[in-house]
Structure 1
Amino acid sequence: MPRTVDVLLTGSTIPAYAHPGDAGADLCAAEAIELAPGERATIGTGTAIALPDGYAAFVVPRSGLAARHGVTIVNAPGTVDAGYRGEIRVTVLNTDARESFRVEVGDRIAQLIVWPVVRAHFVPVDALPGSHRGERGFGSTGYRGVPTEGDSA
């Protein structure tokens, strides 16, 4: 059986899981808006939550909106900290170059994933220990299965 945690909430809608085993619960719009091509807007969900200490919630895009309409979330994932008590709002972006996208009240606009988190204790040192990757960053694993110089396949 999956592990559960009680998340207190207030608001007009309760985030809901569409299918058994889903990681994300759907967040619905509490206001209607039309997004012109390339436009972004912050949409209220009418929902506020209280997470227990040691948890955070992450607001992530819905794959169907992205695939069918080019609608995504600008700051994905958006982080909801355990101490935050305000309304969860979602900043959406219409990436379609030609078509507007209409959001109606009750439309599922994002997903909320609740995840246990640990707090880091940051320890200053003079040098970091070595690793296989080292300091190689963006593009360090190559492109289309072709490793970059210095990488092992």
Structure 2
Amino acid sequence: MLRADVEHTRRDAPLTAGLLRLARNAAAALLVLGLLGFALGASAGAPQRWQTLTRLRTLGLRPRDARWIAAGELLPPVLIAAVGGPLLGILLARLTLGPLELRLLTRQAVDPSLALPWGWLTLMAAALVVTVAVVVPVEAALRRRRQLGEVLRAGE
């Protein structure tokens, strides 16, 4: 019973609670910054991408296929970030777990095992992929405002 009481008091300690809150807020801020970075990158390349797709539409490409092509262009970097980022984080956590020697802090015989938040990692990866599904229709709606003659007259 004594060990459970000690764990409970340490879990509710101000420093522990503050560090947990800081970690959650930092993760949320990094996710928002990543999504904003993706949106900025997508909007920077949007004019060239949609000019090319509009020219392809003049050759017979359907609007639905144009959206699929745009999503296919935006999806690879997002998938690399959504899969590679958590894998890199897991690798770094595993590499630094030994040198931290947490067994000295916890007074255990061996280092504590690494507990990964799979639910949060999946949620963050899904948020990146969903962003592509949001950006492509928004860009398509903005592109529809341009007249076909404008695209054909704009030379390179």
Same fold (TM over 0.5): no
Name which structure has the greater RCO, CA cutoff 8 Å, separation 6+. 2
TM-score, normalising length from structure 2?
A: 0.22
TM-score, normalising length from structure 1?
A: 0.23
Higher helix share: 2
Higher strand share: 1
